[in-house]
Amino acid sequence: MKYVSRDVLETIAEKLAGLIGFTQEETARLLEVPQDTGFGDAALPCFSLAKQLKKPPQLIASQIAEAWNDAQIKADTAGGYVNFRLNRQAFTAQWVHRVNEEGFGSSQSGQGRRVIIDMSSPNIAKPFGIGHLRSTMIGNALYRLYTAAGYDAVRVNHLGDWGTQFGKQITAYQRWGDPKRLTSYTIQDCLDLYVKFHEEADHDPTLEAEARDWFRRLEQGDEEAVQLWRFFVDLSLEEFKRMYKVLGVEFDEYLGESFYNDKIGAVIQNLKDKQLLEESDGAMVVRLRENIPPCLILKSDGTTIYPARDLATAIYRRETMKGDLLLYVVGSEQSLHFTQVFEVLKRMGHTWARDCRHVAFGLMKFEGKKMSTRRGRVIFLEDVLKEAVQHALEILEHKRPDLENKAETAEAIGIGAIIFADLKNYRLNEIDFSMQDALNFDGETGPYLQYTYVRTRSLLEKEGHGAGAGDMAADPAYLAGDHTWHLLKTLHYYPDQIERAVETNDPSLLAKYLIDTAHAFNRFYANERILSELEAEKETKLLLVRATAHVLAHGMDLLGLKTPARM
């Protein structure tokens, strides 16, 4: 199976290095983990060695296997491979303790390093889009993963709260808005105004000029403009926060684009001093390496735009917030933008620009439908979330009519289903979300993980082991069966998988691992005698159940899924 920890591979590499005359690191890189366990837990393909050692691979393999001498790891050969097999009793005896250690999965590998995560970052007076939903969920999972790895992680919401669209919004409100209804305005009302503005602007050219004028007034701090702007910001924030609450997501900072208004001037000055700013068709740009189009900094009317704001933002996050690593969880359609921003930072001499990462992701469609705010044809996220909870409730009514806290459990299942349907996909892939698939209790879904977790809990509670392992003792003699071995090997890999997910900023690695863990557990549950009348066997197997419960709960929490006690 693919889950063989780095520890194990290093143990093999250490011994093997002497036999083939390579360093331990080189040797570790040569080792493979066979998909088919028939070929052992780890394997050394000898084909690439043949040239250097001037011997056929089969001969190299058999010579290594012959010279290999280890009581805990056996070696045999097949073709040009050496296959290594771990002695189950020896390894399970260590692992069963390891996986039951307090806080198993968390580490301190990122200690002393601060990571700033730009996540969610919706635009004011516009509905929260699917891209923002993905950014919120991926960002939240990364925040939790980095925290579990010992980093000091900071969640920042870079609200889109500045730009010419506010001139349009204010103009539309002045023309068609109803001041008497102002207190009951919603984002939908703002959107309707915005759509109307674009419709009317097609045959009324004065509108665009008026909008530019309002934005100019806003930039100059005009009281009326600022007041209206603030009103739109507060109204949007209230709606966004309602959504964050449903999703169980919090932020450490809300620092919108407007926060950088007074910080852009210094950046522009700096670009000028370094002679990086050049004129192009009346606008000011920074030219970049070949193949990368120049980065637009100032428009021809002198107003600043998105890239200039992001330069000021990055510098602030690095110099004032002291971020060692800056992540931007933003859709892949902004790849060019971030490439340009990071390149400009480099040209300014900021060597830390190499620690800026665009954590890009693909589109998500809902049952084949895309979203568009401009035309006002929008799938409202809140509706999707509500629908998922409603479906989960129906499933529970049907499957578990006597369950207590049905509403609360349905919320955990419905929201969890949506979050997991997103996170189980490699982030750059496009997702076509299907409500039915996401809520399938037997599929690779959030509810399947939650259900498996509930199963572990009820086993433990039945045996009075709800709280902890206490003085439960393990007898490795009972851990050698195929399903047991496979489960324990998978569990033991958990900290490695968290590390890989952090290194690649990819929560799907954790999501897939949790599904594998749940599968391994369910096979163990179906095929092994757990509640044996032999006390030692029962205690030993319950230690595995307990570790499974811990890994599933810990992992689901990292992804942002709730763990109901029953369902």
Residue least distant from ligand ARG (Cβ): 160
Closest to 119 in 3D by CA, of 427, 447, 512: 427
Neighbours of 14 (CB within 10 A): 12
State how far the alpha carbon of 166 is from the alpha carbons of 27, 199, 227, 259, 558, in Å: 60, 17, 12, 15, 37
Contact 553, 508 (CB under 8 A): no
Closer to ligand ARG by Cβ: residue 100 or 313: 313
DSSP string covering 363-375: -EEETTB--BTTT
Contact (CB, 8 A) for 105 and 494: yes
The Cβ-side half-sphere exposure at 255, using a 13 Å CA radius, reads 20
**Closest separation between CB of residue 158 and ligand ARG, Å?**
4
Of 317 and 391, CB closest to ligand ARG: 317
Question: Binding residues for ligand ARG, per CB under 6 A?
Answer: 118, 121-123, 158, 160, 310, 313, 328, 330
222 in Cβ contact with 230 (< 8 Å): no
Beta carbon nearer to ligand ARG, 47 or 316? 316
CB closer to ligand ARG out of 122 and 447: 122
Shortest distance (Å) from residue 88 CB to ligand ARG: 50
Question: Nearer to ligand ARG by C-beta: 118 or 444?
Answer: 118
Q: In angstroms, what is the minimal distance from the CB of 299 to ligand ARG?
A: 17
CB of 556 to ligand ARG, least distance (A): 27
CA distances, 422 to each of 137, 275, 446 (Å): 8, 44, 10
Least Å distance, CB 333 to ligand ARG, is: 9
What would the 3-class secondary structure string for 80-94 be? CEEEEEECHHHHHHH
CB of 160 to ligand ARG, least distance (A): 3
If the CB atoms of residues 22 and 316 are measured against ligand ARG, the closer one turns out to be 316
Nearer to ligand ARG, 255 or 460 (CB): 255
Tokens of 204: 């009324």
Separation CA 456–CA 563 (nearest Å)? 12
| DSSP track, 316-380 | HHHHTS--SEEEEEEEGGGHHHHHHHHHHHHHTT-GGGGGEEEEEE--EEETTB--BTTTTB---
Complex with ligand ARG: residue 238 or 273, whichever CB lies closer: 238
Q: Which of 257, 61, 26, 226 is nearest to 156 (CA)?
A: 257
Rounded to the nearest whole angstrom, what is the least distance from the CB of residue 278 to ligand ARG in the complex?
Answer: 23
CB of 538 to ligand ARG, least distance (A): 53
Nearer to ligand ARG, 120 or 508 (CB): 120
Secondary structure of residue 452 in the 3-state scheme = helix
Nearest approach, Cβ of residue 122 and ligand ARG (Å): 6
- Nearest residue (CB) to ligand ARG, 130 versus 172: 130
Determine contact, residues 189/376, Cβ cutoff 8 Å. Answer: no
Work out whether strand 253-254 and strand 277-280 pair parallel, antiparallel, or are unpaired. unpaired
Distance in angstroms (rounded) separating the CA atoms of residues 275 and 29: 46
- Taking the C-alpha atoms of residue 476 and residue 556, their distance in angstroms, rounded to an integer, is 29
- Could you give the CA distance from residue 26 to residue 40 in angstroms, rounded to a whole number? 21
Residue 291 φ/ψ, nearest 5 degrees:
75, -10
Shortest Å distance, C-beta 123 to ligand ARG: 5
CB of 312 to ligand ARG, least distance (A): 10
Q: Provide, rounded to whole angstroms, the least separation between the CB of residue 131 and ligand ARG.
A: 7
Coil/strand/helix, residue 195: helix
C-alpha triplet 363, 248, 233: angle, nearest 5°: 75
CB-nearer residue toward ligand ARG: 15 or 299: 299
Of 260 and 485, the one with the shorter C-beta distance to ligand ARG is 260
Strands (E), 30-80: 42-45, 73-78
